[in-house]
Amino acid sequence: MRAWGGRPWLKGLVALCSLGLCSLGLGAVEAVAQERAVVPDDTLVTLRAQQVLVPFTVVDRLNRPVTTITAADVRLFEDGVEQDIVALGRAPDLPTTVVVVLDCSGSMVGRLPLAKRATLTFLERILRLPQDRAALLACQQDLLLAQPLTGSLDALRQSLATLDERLPSPLGRVMPFDPRQDTPPGTALYAALYAAIELIPEATDERRRVVVAISDGFDSEGLVRIGEVIEHAWRNQVSLYALGIGQPELTATDDQRTVNRADLERLCAATGGQAFFPRLDREFFTAFEQIDTDLRQRFVLAYTPANEAATFRTIRIEVPRHPDWKVRHRAGYYTNPSE
């Protein structure tokens, strides 16, 4: 049974949206948000099992995927203690479940048409197997499940094509973000990411579980904290990827104010994903291509933990023979995700 982590209001959101009852208003969210469990912002996470499987990706200094690696190249540490690797190999071509979170607030008005086109191209690439599934979740101050999980590209195309008029605040009534303002426009981004993770079925089968966010990275509503999103992703074995985008006419200095690079990078790095910051139109499509390649070029290792006491265990993978290589993987796991 799915552990909702003290989030009955998000369970209600997913249920309402699945029935086609549009969005959950911000007022309703605020009324029940107090029911959340208090979780430290930097809480880390773990799976109760004798053997632990850790998917990971390795890239070289040019960010190209490394396709050949052996157990002799890899060192694994759990809670700072080196572990014996039982097996290592290429991850099989597993089915994928992906939820795309589209930020439709004022800061995104100018880039949303391009973001939707790039998203469709990505979904056309990612939905290869009969078991692959994708969903679309839009966020402003309120959330809208634009398309529940489906394997139908036609349904996803239609959802993207009709998204604008179905938003809680249609784009024609959303004011573009003025970078001279101190406060970015209202966006419940972290609540949307948390809800997106909830949309992905429990980890009862072998598949890739992915959430991709297209956003400037700012959350102005404070309904969910960033540490809670990371923890929830760990518990549900979900990798987070992000395309961090601001307005195309901004200078590099302005971009630092209107794209929250630090938080997007933190979300992705902690869960084994990657954050991209495209500025040119073609870089949107390149970023999605890299996400697809990243998911298809993963390795997986297995080990038996020496420590059976800790509830949460941190993980670190090193490739000391290749100091210019970078390894991406989740930062830890719970021995019992439902607790």
Q: Which residues, in sequence order, are bridge partners of residue 143?
A: 24, 139
pLDDT for res 166: 78
Q: Give the C-alpha separation, 151 to 134, whole Å.
A: 6
- Helix then strand then coil, in percent of the chain rounded to 5, is 35, 25, 45
Backbone dihedral angles phi then psi of residue 78, each to the nearest 5 degrees: -115, 120
pLDDT for res 2: 36
Q: Give the C-alpha separation, 72 to 171, whole Å.
A: 54
Cβ–Cβ < 8 Å for 56, 298: yes
Q: Give the C-alpha separation, 67 to 77, whole Å.
A: 22
Stretches in the chain below the pLDDT threshold 70: 1-50, 168-186, 203-205, 247-257, 309-310, 337-339
Helix residue ranges per DSSP H, the chain: 8-18, 26-32, 112-126, 153-161, 163-166, 189-199, 226-235, 252-258, 261-270, 281-296
pLDDT for res 334: 83
Q: Give the C-alpha separation, 240 to 107, whole Å.
A: 21
Those residues whose C-beta lies under 8 Å from the C-beta of residue 123, and which sit 6 or more positions away, are 98, 100, 134, 153, 156
The pTM for the full model equals 0.79
